[in-house]
Structure 1
Amino acid sequence: MSFRTADLCDRFADRHLQIAEPIFKPYGQSTVFSGPVKTLKVFEDDVLLHKALAEPGAGRVLVIDGGGSHRCALVGADAARDAVANGWAGLVIYGCVRDSAVLNTLPIGIRAMHTHPAPSHHRRGAGEQDTLISFSGVNFKTGYFLYADEDGIIVADSELL
């Protein structure tokens, strides 16, 4: 599938498209990715994240509200490899990643705020799945559709392509 977010904004100007504030940096080899959204809300705890990435991704995009934490990384090389192996199209992380050199060799699209060398904590698996999460000026909901490229991220409540 080939698209440009700018073209989608022009083509679907009559629809309610949410456009993420430009706070994310690109990682992974796939600079253009899209898919149905699955949401996850965690804070400095990657237990639910690893469980989600172990599920079949089926071309979905896992959107992770990590509370914008800059104290550790939620996603590293192992988690990203699991995402690739299980068919996730992409990851959008309101937080940090690590192992960025490895992430940039993997065939997946990743957007995150920054890098951080420390891993997240393995705690009790606290968090929520498939709930409405909001960050970067966008309300993300499981079942919405996300489109990302070099120009940004847009979210629609139904599939555009």
Structure 2
Amino acid sequence: MADFVTCDLLDDNEDKVIYVLPPIIDGQAWRQYGGVSTFGGQAVTVKCFEDNSRVKELLATDGTGKILVVDGGASMRCALMGDMIAKSAVENGWVGVIISGCVRDVDEIAKMTLGVLALASIPKKSVRKGVGETGLPISIGGVTICDGDFVYVDNNGVIVSKEKLV
């Protein structure tokens, strides 16, 4: 479990924190879904719209110390992660997942040792077509997050830094 408060991290590192994610994206407020509410690590980025193929692929790889940050276009039409993919993330050591979009199977995800921040939940799964891009700068709520940035999350919000802060 992470030992930090984003407010204090920001206050102590104002020169290093490059962005604070807005609390509302396209009319939706961020919501914690995982069993861990405070988490931080190095970002792995993916951009996909209503297709979780790349999310599933990435979370099946070693994610030690990493957070998957997903630009799902804030779509409210289908989930980009459910319990089976979240379980794979836990098994592969991922610290957390941030999804600008939806998740499903939220009661099961809440039992997992995984930080999960998303905009909403919906029972409908995505259709896998193998579409999506990884490792590129993504934009969520006007904030650019690059592959390799450091991301810190707690109940106060999300901060992004080029440098490791904790």
Task: Give your verdict on TM over 0.5.
Answer: yes
Match of 1:48 in 2: 54
CA contact 1:19–1:137 (8 Å) conserved in 2 = no
Q: What is the alpha-carbon distance in structure 2 between the residues aligned to residue 18 and residue 114 of structure 1?
A: 22
Which structure 1 residue ranges, 5 or more long, are not aligned? none
> Alignment partner for residue 90 of structure 1, among 87, 93, 96?
96
Read off the aligned partner of 2:3 and give its amino acid letter.
Answer: S
Q: Does 2:157 correspond to 1:152?
A: yes
Q: Give the 4+ runs in structure 1 shifted more than 6 A.
A: none
Read off the aligned partner of 2:43 and give its amino acid letter.
Answer: V
> Normalising by structure 2, what TM-score?
0.93
Which structure 2 residue ranges, 5 or more long, are not aligned? 24-28
Q: What is the alpha-carbon distance in structure 1 between the residues aligned to residue 37 and residue 85 of structure 2?
A: 19
- Kindly report which structure 2 residues correspond to 1:10-159, keeping only aligned pairs within 5 A, or say none: 10-22=11-23, 23-123=29-129, 125-159=130-164
RMSD: 1.0
CA contact 2:73–2:100 (8 Å) conserved in 1 = yes
Q: 1:88-127: per-residue Cα shift (whole Å, max 9, x none)?
A: 000000000001111100000000000011001111x111
Q: What is the alpha-carbon distance in structure 2 between the residues aligned to residue 133 and residue 69 of structure 1?
A: 15
Aligned length: 160
Greater Cα shift, 87-96 or 6-15: 6-15
Read off the aligned partner of 1:152 and give its amino acid letter.
Answer: G
Aligned-residue sequence identity (percent) comes to 39
